[in-house]
């Protein structure tokens, strides 16, 4: 039962993070000396929320000179690079704080030190064989770190740092002596929840506490103006917000800025305190997201045509176990989404590449259960020194750079390494469900119960069920989505369902009976709540 406790008191203690005392001492010194601090973030939603949280938190502690800088992925690439340090140096910071990056920024940290700038790395990505020579590195995934949860997102690491710093400042009477109200850090949990859900980190118990508490505050209307505006523009009700709403309505719009232009737009949205300003920025993010979706759809179709040309439909053995795809016209900011979509379609690790600068390719990798994608890249790098220019990431997602001329060699080496992890039988798509739902449980009350039992997410999936249904009615809505009126095969009870494109695209029009994998959901329309099944997989039942 302890795992179901999502009260704030269930959070892990910040003192078990190995380098926390050093990180706190460094920040406290900067606060006392009124030093200029610059946060350097990543260009995804975790990086944006981490940056916004760091700025808001340090300002609440009394910092007078704290700002952020986020790299443009098309000009500078990922992390604290020497080029970003050169730009940062123009602002004359005494301290650079990296959020959601930095663990592989050897050259950038060396450049910062050469410029007389200290560096505090806060990150959650897996470290390489050697650590950069930062002044302090705070990362639960460092070798030997005793922090029990290795699944903190970057925004979670920053939140824990603020918790520890507040405790220290309280002990030394910082807030009392300066007449500063002691910040209630729970008020920042809306931002923490968004970043945690958006980064798709496993929702272990500690992360579920962070997300559940953040959602409680959002539903109560105690969230930043930017999150409120993004939920509203995504047509989600604030008082009923779920992790799904954060993951599918807020995060994609926030991410669109980093994918297509500059994540500063997203960070400014999260920093805005004026409702009108937040709404204006949310509208711009929504427009970028529409553009991103169109680009993604085109790239996905092109990737599927590549797979067809590999004759996968005729002979699956032709398709590599580790699949690499490259198109000279693909957009750098969208390749990760394409890799994810194709991975789901072909049930194997996929790396999608786009052209970068100076004859380089940028790749984004997505993996399947049983294949630690960063370890795969590490093995390829070890066996083929110099083939990969740089790489980094997690078990399920990673990024890399290599020379365009070396793409064929990498594709072969990647496939060969993945074959050490998978067998042919592992390439079949398998759906695990919680079985058939009894007819008497196919109700709105059951859907409401499941919704309230969250938050659901990575490594803590929402229950899904399978069953056979007859099709009474169907109609196309939106961009190729299908709405059904179904009859449950045992009780013949009528129930509504929706299958989003492309789940239902291959269902024959004359099909009268289907087997589905679905999740019961609460659908509200014009003030009326009804049960609706969200279809995750559907196939015809052959008589």
Q: 439-540 maps to which CATH number?
A: 2.40.50.460
Q: Is 484 helix (H, G, I), strand (E, B) or coil?
A: strand
Pick out the chain residues at pLDDT < 70: 1-2, 311-317
The residue among 116, 93, 95 whose CA lies nearest residue 27 is 95
Residues in Cβ contact with 324 at an 8 Å cutoff, skipping those fewer than 6 apart = 350, 351, 353, 363, 407, 410, 411, 414, 415
Query: How many percent of the chain have pLDDT more than 70?
Result: 98
Q: Which of 261, 354, 254 is nearest to 44 (CA)?
A: 254
**What class, spelled out in words, does domain 315-427 have in CATH?**
alpha beta
pTM above 0.85, yes or no: yes
Confidence at residue 394, expressed as pLDDT on a 0 to 100 scale: 82
pLDDT of residue 535: 94
Q: What percent of the chain has pLDDT over 90?
A: 82
For the domain bounded by 10-283, which CATH number is listed?
A: 3.90.1640.30
* pLDDT score of 1: 56
| 419-474 tens-digit pLDDT | 999 998 888 888 899 999 999 999 999 999 999 888 999 889 999 999 999 999 99
Q: Give per-residue pLDDT as tens, 337-359.
A: 999 999 999 999 999 999 998 89
Q: Which among 130, 126, 131, 57 has a CA at the least distance from the CA of 97?
A: 57
pLDDT tens for each residue of 208-235: 999 999 999 999 999 999 999 999 999 9
By the 8 A CB rule, do 152 and 140 touch?
yes
Domain ranges (residues) in the chain = 10-283, 315-427, 439-540
Return the pLDDT at 223: 97
Closest CA to 227 of 49, 483, 37, 105: 49
- The pair of three-digit structure tokens given for residue 484, joined into one six-digit string: 């059904």
């Amino acid at each position: 039962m302890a795992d179901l406790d999502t009260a704030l008191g269930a959070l892990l203690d910040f003192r078990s993070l190995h380098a926390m005392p050093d990180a706190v001492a460094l920040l406290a010194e900067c606060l006392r000396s009124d030093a200029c601090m610059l946060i350097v973030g990543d260009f995804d939603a975790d990086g944006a929320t981490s940056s916004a949280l760091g700025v808001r938190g340090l300002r609440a502690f009394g910092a007078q000179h704290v700002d952020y800088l986020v790299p443009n992925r098309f000009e500078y690439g990922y992390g604290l690079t020497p080029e970003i340090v050169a730009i940062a140096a123009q602002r004359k910071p005494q301290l650079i704080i990296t959020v959601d990056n930095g663990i592989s920024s050897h050259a950038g940290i060396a450049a910062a030190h050469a410029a007389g700038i200290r560096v505090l790395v806060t990150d959650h990505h897996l470290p390489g064989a050697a650590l950069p020579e930062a002044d302090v590195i705070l990362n639960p995934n460092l070798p030997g770190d005793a922090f029990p949860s290795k699944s903190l997102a970057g925004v979670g690491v920053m939140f824990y740092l603020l918790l520890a710093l507040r405790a220290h400042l309280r002990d030394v009477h910082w807030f009392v002596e300066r007449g500063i109200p002691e910040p209630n850090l729970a008020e920042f949990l809306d931002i923490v929840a968004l970043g945690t859900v958006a980064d798709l980190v496993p929702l272990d118990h500690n992360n579920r506490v962070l997300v559940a508490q953040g959602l409680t505050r959002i539903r109560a209307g105690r969230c930043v103006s930017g999150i409120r505006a993004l939920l509203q523009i995504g047509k989600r009700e604030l008082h009923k917000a779920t992790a799904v709403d954060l993951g599918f309505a807020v995060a994609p719009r926030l991410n669109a800025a980093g994918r297509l232009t500059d994540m500063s737009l997203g960070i400014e949205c999260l920093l805005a305190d004026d409702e009108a300003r937040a709404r204006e920025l949310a509208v711009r993010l929504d427009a970028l997201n529409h553009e991103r979706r169109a680009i993604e759809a085109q790239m996905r179709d092109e990737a599927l045509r590549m797979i067809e040309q590999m004759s996968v439909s005729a002979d699956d053995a032709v398709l590599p176990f580790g699949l690499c795809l490259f198109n000279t016209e693909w957009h750098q900011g969208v390749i990760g989404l394409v890799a994810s979509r194709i991975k789901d379609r072909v049930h194997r690790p996929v790396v999608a590449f786009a052209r970068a600068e100076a004859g380089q390719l940028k790749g984004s990798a997505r993996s399947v259960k049983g294949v630690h994608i960063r370890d795969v890249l590490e093995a390829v790098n070890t066996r083929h020194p110099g083939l990969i220019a740089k790489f980094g990431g997690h078990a399920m997602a990673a990024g890399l750079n290599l020379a365009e001329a070396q793409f064929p060699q990498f594709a072969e080496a990647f496939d060969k390494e993945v074959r050490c992890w998978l067998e042919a039988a592992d390439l079949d798509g398998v759906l695990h469900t919680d079985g058939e739902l009894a007819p008497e449980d196919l109700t709105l009350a059951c859907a409401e119960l499941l919704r309230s039992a969250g938050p659901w997410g990575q490594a803590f999936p929402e229950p899904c069920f399978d069953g056979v249904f007859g099709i009474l009615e169907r109609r196309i809505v939106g961009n190729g989505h299908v709405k059904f009126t179904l009859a449950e095969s045992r009780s013949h009870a009528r129930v509504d369902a929706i299958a989003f494109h492309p789940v239902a695209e291959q269902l024959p029009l004359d099909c009268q009976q289907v087997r589905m994998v679905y999740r019961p959901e609460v659908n509200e329309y014009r003030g009326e709540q009804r049960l609706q099944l969200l279809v995750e997989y559907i196939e015809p039942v052959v008589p």
